[in-house]
Amino acid sequence: MEYLDIEHEGRTLRGVLHLPVGPAAAVPAVALCHGFGGNRAEFGYTFVRLAERLAERGVAAYRFDFAGCGDSDGDFDELTVSDQVAQVGAVLAALAAHPAVDPDRLSLMGMSLGGLTAQLAAARHPVRSLTLWAPAAAAVSMDEEAAKRRADAIAAAGYDDFGGLPVRRPFVDDAATIDAFADAAPYPGPVLLAVGTEDFVLGSELLDRYWGTYGDRLDLHVFDGVGHGFETVAARERLVELSAAFTAQHA
């Protein structure tokens, strides 16, 4: 594992690159995109475990903190999806330039808002595979009632309190410019999508839209009895193993 910092628009994105042990030949790599308010370890250290599992399979994995999160520079209040997508572009460019990485064999994965970010970035960059854990398409596809509640909260307090973290006007204004599915549709490769049956973020209507966007390229895995964070030891182990195997298969 090596520390790898990436510069993007005057900010330093801080992360770590897990490299396979073995011959010096360039290897495939995947960037791991954490969720809203998270960091490069993700819930239950699942990104650490996934990165280690990938390295065992000969795939490098880069865990990084988005701007304003974890150890990276930036102001969390300025978070927008479009900015995160641009950061992923900088990450992919840095991975492609790394001497241990094969620039033609890059992949993306993401959790929740990082999943939405990854699916949008995959449509803009040549990546081999896309892994989505409970992607938060709802963040830019809110129904009318939820959007009004958020707008009223921002008008009253300057932010919407989402699990103890502020969602501010720049995030909402940016979200209005994004279509989570039309903007993701140009990505032509395989997609693994994992979701819990009790997930409050990714409902059945959004699952239908993922099917409509990716069709038979979508490899859907439904986890019974867990919610947005895949909250059991067994579910998280299955999640990590499925994702490592899928990424390595398509690397």
In contact, 251 and 105? CB cutoff 8 Å: yes
Q: Is the pLDDT of residue 146 over 90?
A: no
pLDDT beyond 80 at 230: yes
In a domain, 72, yes or no: yes
> 68-112, pLDDT tens digit by residue?
999 999 999 999 999 999 999 999 999 999 999 999 999 999 999
Asked whether residue 32 carries a pLDDT value surpassing 70, the answer given is yes
Place of tokens 């993401």: 110
Helix or strand or coil: residue 52? helix
Q: Does residue 149 lie within any of the structural domains?
A: no
The size of the chain, in residues, is 251
Token pair recorded at residue 136 = 């938060």
Beta bridge partners of 31: 62, 108
- Tell me if 166 is assigned to some domain: no
Q: What is the mean pLDDT of residues 109-122?
A: 98
- In this structure, is residue 148 part of a structural domain? no
Check pLDDT > 70 for residue 245: yes
The answer to whether residues 62 and 4 touch, using CB atoms and an 8 Å cutoff, is yes
In a domain, 164, yes or no: no
Report whether pLDDT(228) > 70: yes
Q: Is residue 157 part of a domain?
A: no
The structural domain count of the chain equals: 1
Query: Residue 173: inside a domain, yes or no?
Result: no
Q: What is the mean pLDDT of the chain?
A: 95
In 3D space, the residue among 214, 216, 221 whose CA is nearest the CA of residue 240 turns out to be 221
Q: Cα-flanking dihedrals φ and ψ of residue 188, to 5°?
A: -100, 0
- Give the model's confidence band at 147: pLDDT under 50 very low, under 70 low, under 90 confident, else very high: confident
Structural domain contains residue 206 = yes
Domain containing 118 equals 2-141+179-250
CATH number reported for the structural domain that contains residue 29 in this entry: 3.40.50.1820
**How would DSSP label each residue in 135-201?**
--GGGTS--HHHHHHHHHHHHHHSSEEETTEEE-HHHHHHHTT--TTTTTTT--S-EEEEEETT-SS
